């Protein structure tokens, strides 16, 4: 394969026919550039969709209640639904095998005060599993545990930005803050990927909250993480069944979305995977279309080039060139041009994608558009093979023309 004289012949042929070489190279480079951009942008769209739901656990299910919108069993519309501890206990016992994480949630808005700094924050009363459902990351200290709940401790885990607001750069862990008039011990500081709002929250034990504020067993929400062993469809079925059960238990019309609903990540996951699949099909369809167009382009040019060189091949054959040497020369030239041009297109595309980066995320939902090295290698292989075919077929034909006919060509 490596024959210095053969390469010299090829470089001379490329060099002396620059326009032709550049034109055929351009077709390939352009096709690969389009392919790379398209692939990268589709990837970016996919990344955005995946990222949009990354804030909470991928298997979370939130049971939410509000007012009824339909009359049911003599009960009138507009009745406010209240979840209680027994509902939580019912769900966690009834579906224990289908649940990985479980937590209640009570929403409160309290003024949190430390020395002279004070502000109102969203405070949530939760169970320990809530950490995993909300994907809370502990930076310092620890999260709430079962003992805190049992003892109804007055402890609080605060968000990174609350700490910043109240303490600045000074340490906060182990300090006491005033929450709605009572003193709470800071046992942990957390951060969250969900944005600034999520980091201006604080968590306290649900039992403490129920005791101190109202002395009842009311809860605002039931948060669950379904068992990851469930398939998406099973998880959706589980969510639907639990929804029906809870409505029955709370005397809600079976179709009353307003009174009780379950936000099931399984459905979002299904949506994401459907969108991803659709995107994948679009990528494959348009991407391979672009590649094929490029391959056809170079094939056409090669046919033209070989027609133009038929006489040259005739001369070479008269001088003793074997058909295989002519085919080899053309194929090697074609592969060289496609590979170099393809590489240029690929590099340019990758460069443009890295230049775009995350700048389109806000407006166009494209996050971190990029192509994986596997795709790059795959596309390069496709290119080399297509260069091979594009050169081989017409060259073989040209090499088999009788030299007398080739010499007559013009």
Token pair 């077709």 in the structure block, residue = 27
Is the Cβ of residue 175 or residue 311 nearer to another protein in the bound state? 311
298 alpha-carbon distance from chain centroid: 35
Residue 28 corresponds to which tokens in the numbers above?
Answer: 């390939």
We find the least distance from the C-beta atom of residue 4 to another protein, in angstroms, to be 8
Residue 99 corresponds to which tokens in the numbers above?
Answer: 């649940």
The DSSP code sequence of 277-297 is HHHHHHHHHHHHHHHHHHHHH
Whole-angstrom distance, CA of residue 256 vs CA of residue 383:
57
Is the Cβ of residue 5 or residue 362 nearer to another protein in the bound state? 5
We find the least distance from the C-beta atom of residue 317 to another protein, in angstroms, to be 6
We find the least distance from the C-beta atom of residue 16 to another protein, in angstroms, to be 4
We find the least distance from the C-beta atom of residue 409 to another protein, in angstroms, to be 11
We find the least distance from the C-beta atom of residue 5 to another protein, in angstroms, to be 6
Is the Cβ of residue 293 or residue 407 nearer to another protein in the bound state? 407
We find the least distance from the C-beta atom of residue 390 to another protein, in angstroms, to be 22
Angle at 27 between CA 21 and CA 28, to 5 degrees: 90
We find the least distance from the C-beta atom of residue 335 to another protein, in angstroms, to be 20
Is the Cβ of residue 3 or residue 117 nearer to another protein in the bound state? 3
Residue 78 corresponds to which tokens in the numbers above?
Answer: 């507009």
Is the Cβ of residue 16 or residue 170 nearer to another protein in the bound state? 16
**In the complex, which residues of this chain contact another protein (CB under 8 A)?**
4-5, 8-9, 12-13, 16-17, 311-312, 314-325, 399-400, 402-404, 407
Is the Cβ of residue 7 or residue 364 nearer to another protein in the bound state? 7
399 alpha-carbon distance from chain centroid: 51
Whole-angstrom distance, CA of residue 215 vs CA of residue 112:
21
Is the Cβ of residue 8 or residue 150 nearer to another protein in the bound state? 8
126 forms beta bridges with 105, 205
- Secondary structure of 16-58 as H, E, C letters: HCHHHHHHHHHHHHHHHHHHHHHHHHHHHHHHHHHHHCCCCCC
What are the start-end ranges of the H helices in 95-145?
130-133
């Amino acid at each position: 394969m490596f024959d210095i004289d053969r390469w010299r012949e090829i470089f001379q042929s490329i060099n002396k026919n620059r326009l032709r070489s550049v034109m055929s190279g351009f077709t390939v480079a352009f096709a690969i550039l389009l392919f790379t951009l398209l692939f990268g942008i589709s990837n970016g769209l996919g990344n955005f969709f995946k990222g949009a739901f990354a804030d909470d656990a991928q298997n979370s299910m939130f049971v939410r209640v509000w007012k009824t919108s339909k009359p049911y069993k003599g009960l009138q519309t507009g009745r406010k639904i209240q979840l209680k501890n027994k509902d939580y206990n019912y769900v966690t016992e009834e579906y224990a095998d289908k649940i990985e994480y479980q937590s209640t949630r009570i929403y409160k808005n309290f003024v949190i005060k430390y020395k002279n700094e004070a502000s109102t924050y969203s405070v949530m009363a939760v169970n320990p599993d809530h950490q995993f459902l909300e994907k809370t990351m502990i930076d310092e200290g620890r999260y709430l545990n079962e003992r805190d709940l049992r003892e109804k401790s007055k402890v609080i885990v605060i968000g990174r930005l609350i700490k910043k607001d109240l303490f600045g750069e000074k340490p906060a862990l182990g300090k006491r803050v005033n929450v709605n008039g009572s003193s709470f011990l800071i046992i942990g500081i957390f951060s969250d990927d969900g944005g600034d709002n999520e980091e201006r929250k604080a968590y306290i034990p649900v039992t403490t909250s129920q005791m101190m504020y109202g002395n009842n067993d009311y809860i605002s929400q039931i948060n669950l993480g379904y068992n990851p062993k469930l398939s998406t469809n099973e998880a959706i079925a589980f969510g639907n069944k639990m929804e029906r059960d809870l409505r029955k238990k709370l005397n809600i019309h079976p179709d009353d979305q307003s009174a009780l609903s379950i936000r099931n990540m399984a459905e979002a996951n299904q949506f994401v995977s459907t969108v991803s699949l659709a995107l994948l099909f679009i990528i494959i369809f348009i991407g391979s279309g672009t590649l094929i167009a490029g391959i056809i382009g170079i094939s056409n040019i090669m046919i033209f080039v070989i027609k133009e060189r038929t006489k040259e091949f005739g001369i070479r054959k008269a001088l003793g060139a074997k058909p295989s040497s002519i085919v080899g020369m053309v194929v090697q030239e074609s592969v060289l041009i496609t590979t170099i041009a393809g590489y240029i297109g690929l590099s340019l595309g990758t460069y443009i994608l890295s230049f775009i980066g995350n700048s389109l995320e806000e407006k166009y939902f494209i996050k971190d558009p990029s192509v994986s090295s596997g795709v790059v290698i795959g596309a390069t292989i496709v290119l080399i093979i297509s260069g091979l075919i594009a050169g081989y077929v017409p060259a073989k034909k040209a090499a088999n023309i009788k030299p007398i006919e080739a010499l007559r060509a013009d």
